[in-house]
Chain A
Amino acid sequence: MANSNLPRRIIKETQRLLSEPAPGISASPSEDNMRYFNVMILGPTQSPYEGGVFKLELFLPEEYPMAAPKVRFLTKIYHPNIDKLGRICLDILKDKWSPALQIRTVLLSIQALLSAPNPDDPLSENIAKHWKSNEAEAVETAKEWTRLYASGV
């Protein structure tokens, strides 16, 4: 019943997310709000986040797909493009959004952001400074935070 008013595109995307999940990513809609997804992303191998399980939340606003999904990390993470509240600095979530993109591409991009932190376009100034001044040490901190906060359920 509730699904009948959900745009076909969202239903399709959801079905595909559930039947063919992207490697290292899971996304499932919440029972009481089909536009709200619980997301898990595994830290990519050979990144400081390897071994971590990161929880995120994603919401498809009324205007989706004309407007980007809203996404944030719920698990604490040490990353120059993610702030204390888990907000993510990623162009496709802002001005580079296109309706041709999907939930899947957004989550894959976030996974890729974990492999390639970009301290030149920071959201967390302090973490970016750390990254630029002493990358090895910043990576160590990121690994430690992964152990502390993202070591799985």
Chain B
Amino acid sequence: MTIGSGGSAIVALSTWNCKSALFYHFFFFFLSAVPRNFRLLEELERGEKGIGDGSVSYGMDDADDIYMRSWTGTIIGPHNTVHEGRIYQLKLFCDKDYPEKPPSVRFYSRINMACVNHETGAVEAKKFGMLAHWQREFTMDNVLTQLRKEMAASQNRKLVQPPEGTHF
């Protein structure tokens, strides 16, 4: 994307520091960042083609919503964990300020996991780094893939789970 193509410009800056990184970020953002709607159209097309081995997927909820806000994501529980064999459904909501701001992410299928609110199913940003330290280049695919990794992390892989097929 945008950021990558400017890589040579970074090297050329002899006094490279955090301040110039910030400047650089804004500079390129204003110049040529892919606008929200076209970014979501790209994500939609990618999602329709299918991602990687299919262990995560997503699609749009309302085919008539020109602003493409509501999405359903699916994660297949990773092997060698309590989640193996389970299929988790999530709701992702991309507001007008996406991808400057992260989507809101909520499990629809019940799950017991450290970063997920036990009552609402919401993925809590303060316990899930990707949302807390969101970058514009991140995608819904990245969020789902990272959540799947999180399921296999030591604090989550053996947690007792609610009955399969129950919902928040």
Interface of B is mostly: helix
- Are B38 and A2 neighbours in the complex by a CB distance under 8 Å? no
Give chain A residues whose Cβ lies under 8 Å from the Cβ of B27.
2, 5
Give chain A residues whose Cβ lies under 8 Å from the Cβ of B41.
70, 72, 85, 87
- Are A35 and B32 neighbours in the complex by a CB distance under 8 Å? yes
Closest chain A residue to B64, Cβ basis: A84
A 36-83 contacts with B by CB, 8 A: 36, 57, 59, 61-62, 70, 72, 74, 76
B5 beta carbon closer than 8 Å to chain A = yes
- Are A62 and B32 neighbours in the complex by a CB distance under 8 Å? yes
CA distance A76 to B66 in the complex (A): 9
- Are A2 and B31 neighbours in the complex by a CB distance under 8 Å? yes
B34 beta carbon closer than 8 Å to chain A = yes
Give chain A residues whose Cβ lies under 8 Å from the Cβ of B38.
57, 59, 70, 72
Contact of A62 among B5, B30, B64, B66 (CB under 8 A): B5
B22 beta carbon closer than 8 Å to chain A = no
Number of interface residues of A (CB under 8 A): 21
CA distance A124 to B41 in the complex (A): 17
Q: Mark B11-44, 1 if CB is under 8 A from A, else 0.
A: 0000000000000000100111111011001001
Closest chain B residue to A71, Cβ basis: B38
- Are B35 and A59 neighbours in the complex by a CB distance under 8 Å? yes
B151 beta carbon closer than 8 Å to chain A = no
Known: A2-B27, A59-B38. A85 touches B66 (CB 8 A): yes
Give chain B residues whose Cβ lies under 8 Å from the Cβ of A2.
27, 30-31
Q: Which of B5, B30, B44 has the most CB of A within 10 A?
A: B30
A92 beta carbon closer than 8 Å to chain B = no
Give chain A residues whose Cβ lies under 8 Å from the Cβ of B1.
62
CA distance A36 to B36 in the complex (A): 11
Give chain A residues whose Cβ lies under 8 Å from the Cβ of B35.
30, 33, 36, 57, 59
Residues of A within 8 A of B (CB): 2, 5-6, 30, 32-36, 57, 59, 61-62, 70, 72, 74, 76, 84-87
Given contacts A34-B30, A36-B35, A72-B41, 18 further A-B contacts (CB under 8 A): A6-B31, A30-B35, A32-B30, A33-B30, A33-B32, A35-B31, A57-B35, A57-B37, A59-B34, A59-B38, A61-B34, A62-B2, A62-B5, A70-B38, A70-B41, A84-B63, A84-B66, A85-B63
